[in-house]
Chains A and B, each alone.
Chain A
């Protein structure tokens, strides 16, 4: 029987900003099932990035429990958390965040190398995923020699190459024009459909919400609505745009 990829129970995250105590996340219960394509949205400061950081094991809750792939992450050491992130979670950041000294190929390869995948297999898998995101030709380029859209596609390839259970994408389209953003979302929707990769976005971009099948709205650290659609935009639009 499959269990949820993410399970949050009464999660709180408080931190101090000067003398003020800020409740960034204030009692959230959330479950993400395998294969979901979900957007967490809300205005700036609503707590969506903090929530994503908690789910991504980059931060620990003040109260409550966070289970990722059935594991209670609040009890894990730094190294165990790193291992969990490496094997279960892929990240796509707003600012691409590729390693500048590595080529597109090496950036994608890095995660597999950290997992200890043999070189020959790494090469095969990296070439396959770069081909899938349409960047096989640019694999020897370094980030500074690629456009924002191309860099973000490398970031997506890096996030999914190791077949993680979950890909967390924090404002992935924020730095892209709408045309490039749509192409990127379509690519992620295809990966979700074809490889059953679970995507969880943090966004206030309406286009991301349009592509998502489930939209969780957060206001002041609390879930204000949780809506599910039968289809996302990516389910019905064939790949028609190129970055």
Chain B
């Protein structure tokens, strides 16, 4: 107890110096909390958008479809897949999609569609990002020969809601062409506003000659259960000619990018912590050297070298703990504030729209800080502070009382 008291008071002998050190460690911690929160938030947004637009938490498709998005590589009997799975667990949504390419024409121009989707109107509406990004018109209704197109495509074709366009594409057995009415115009950002279009699944199946076949069954669920769900679906569908993919396998570019981003963040954390560690070591070393005589006195009185070591380590542990409190007091409100108001991603990319796997990331990023990340960072800061004090503490431990007593 007396050792703790001494350590705490020693910390405040040089208030200004301790204050500066606390500020340095605390602000680094606050900064790390914010950046880790921002990274996690942007990752969540990327994953969420990519999953909604291009995949699902888990997808079921023809085994070769991942390599080549061809109409021939299809799930011929999706109803059998669903039957095999049985009733969906609470909170799950499944939607069926056909992916292909096509050409959209109007009297005034044409646009290549690199992502023409025929979608299950009812379920796609529940999970897709498009319904809330329709700027004119409305989501498709069944029975209507409608098409949803992007804002750029509408501009190029010089069409708007209610106008007619002609869609040409390769069906399963022949080239097909059909007239559609523009039901809605969406703005999801980037090239998706030119190359993405949506029609109803039933109409798409007829147009493309797919019968009841589809390209993909996409399952949505609480994301933390997705790995278990993928395993469960794989087991249930093992003897069917389909592949079950978790989103990390279905969206390899995104997975890779997230990994690179994580590594970059770890390097950033490492550099920041390295700089702070050097500062702490300097502070603790100075504090030890200033107190050489006093530490010598303590040894003369019979304090063991190990207790001297403990005293210095206790001081730095307290410094680390205080820094975490200070950093959390600054960093958490910062994360909380931006988690509420969000950050415009274009502010981070200098006005450029960030696009990946055909998805534009235009939504505001809301930093997300999980307990686990916050506690891990706190632990890292404390451990780093303690490690930085090791060498000064060893020096203090080896002070010779007879030499220390000669110092003024």
Partner of B298, one of A83, A87, A99: A99
B347, CB-defined interface residue at 8 Å: no
Bound CA span A53–B402, Å: 7
Q: Are the C-beta atoms of A58 and B10 separated by less than 8 Å?
A: no
Partner of B297, one of A56, A87, A93: A93
Q: Are the C-beta atoms of A86 and B6 separated by less than 8 Å?
A: no
**Which residues of the other chain, B, contact A20 by a CB distance below 8 angstroms?**
none
B1-17 interface code vs A (CB 8 A; 1 in, 0 out):
11101100110010000
**Which residues of the other chain, A, contact B294 by a CB distance below 8 angstroms?**
97, 99-100
With A99-B6, A101-B9, A106-B5 known as contacts, the answer to whether A87 contacts B300 (CB < 8 A) is no
Q: Are the C-beta atoms of B305 and A85 separated by less than 8 Å?
A: no
A102, CB-defined interface residue at 8 Å: yes
Q: Are the C-beta atoms of B6 and A102 separated by less than 8 Å?
A: yes
**Which residues of the other chain, B, contact A101 by a CB distance below 8 angstroms?**
6, 9-10, 13
A91, CB-defined interface residue at 8 Å: yes
B49 CB → nearest A CB, Å: 57
Partner of B301, one of A59, A114, A119: A114
A174, CB-defined interface residue at 8 Å: no
A127, CB-defined interface residue at 8 Å: no
Bound CA span A151–B302, Å: 20
| Interface size in chain A (residues, C-beta < 8 A) | 29
Nearest-neighbor residue (CB-CB) of A50 within chain B: B402
Q: Are the C-beta atoms of A58 and B303 separated by less than 8 Å?
A: no
Partner of B402, one of A58, A79, A86, A113: A58
Q: Are the C-beta atoms of A110 and B2 separated by less than 8 Å?
A: yes
B261-306 at interface with A (beta carbon < 8 Å): 293-294, 297-306
With A53-B402, A109-B2, A110-B2 known as contacts, the answer to whether A86 contacts B9 (CB < 8 A) is no
**Which residues of the other chain, B, contact A137 by a CB distance below 8 angstroms?**
none
Bound CA span A79–B303, Å: 9
Q: Are the C-beta atoms of B304 and A83 separated by less than 8 Å?
A: yes
B206, CB-defined interface residue at 8 Å: no
**Which residues of the other chain, B, contact A106 by a CB distance below 8 angstroms?**
2, 5
Nearest-neighbor residue (CB-CB) of B301 within chain A: A111
Partner of B401, one of A58, A87, A99: A58
Nearest-neighbor residue (CB-CB) of B408 within chain A: A95
Nearest-neighbor residue (CB-CB) of B2 within chain A: A113
Q: Are the C-beta atoms of B306 and A79 separated by less than 8 Å?
A: yes
Nearest-neighbor residue (CB-CB) of A168 within chain B: B300
A113-127 interface code vs B (CB 8 A; 1 in, 0 out):
111000100000000
A82, CB-defined interface residue at 8 Å: yes
B284 CB → nearest A CB, Å: 16
Most buried by B among A58, A82, A87, A158: A82
A156 CB → nearest B CB, Å: 13
**Which residues of the other chain, B, contact A56 by a CB distance below 8 angstroms?**
300
**Which residues of the other chain, B, contact A87 by a CB distance below 8 angstroms?**
302
B234-286 at interface with A (beta carbon < 8 Å): none
**Which residues of the other chain, B, contact A83 by a CB distance below 8 angstroms?**
302, 304
B297-329 interface code vs A (CB 8 A; 1 in, 0 out):
111111111110000000000000000000000
A78, CB-defined interface residue at 8 Å: yes
Bound CA span A196–B1, Å: 32
B152-171 at interface with A (beta carbon < 8 Å): none
Q: Are the C-beta atoms of A58 and B405 separated by less than 8 Å?
A: yes
Partner of A85, one of B2, B293, B302: B302
**Which residues of the other chain, B, contact A113 by a CB distance below 8 angstroms?**
1-3
Bound CA span A59–B293, Å: 16
**Which residues of the other chain, A, contact B13 by a CB distance below 8 angstroms?**
100-101
Partner of A78, one of B3, B305, B402: B305
Q: Are the C-beta atoms of A99 and B303 separated by less than 8 Å?
A: no
Q: Are the C-beta atoms of A86 and B297 separated by less than 8 Å?
A: no
Q: Could you list 7 examples of A-B contacts with CB < 8 Å?
A: A58-B401, A82-B305, A86-B301, A86-B303, A101-B6, A101-B10, A113-B3
Given A97-B297, A109-B2, A111-B301, 9 other A-B contacts at CB below 8 A? A82-B299, A91-B300, A91-B301, A93-B297, A101-B9, A102-B6, A102-B9, A110-B2, A113-B2
What is the interface of chain B, defined by CB distance below 8 A to chain A? 1-3, 5-6, 9-10, 13, 293-294, 297-307, 401-402, 405
- The 10 tightest CB contacts between A and B, nearest first, are A86-B302, A101-B9, A85-B302, A113-B2, A59-B402, A97-B297, A58-B402, A82-B304, A58-B401, A53-B402
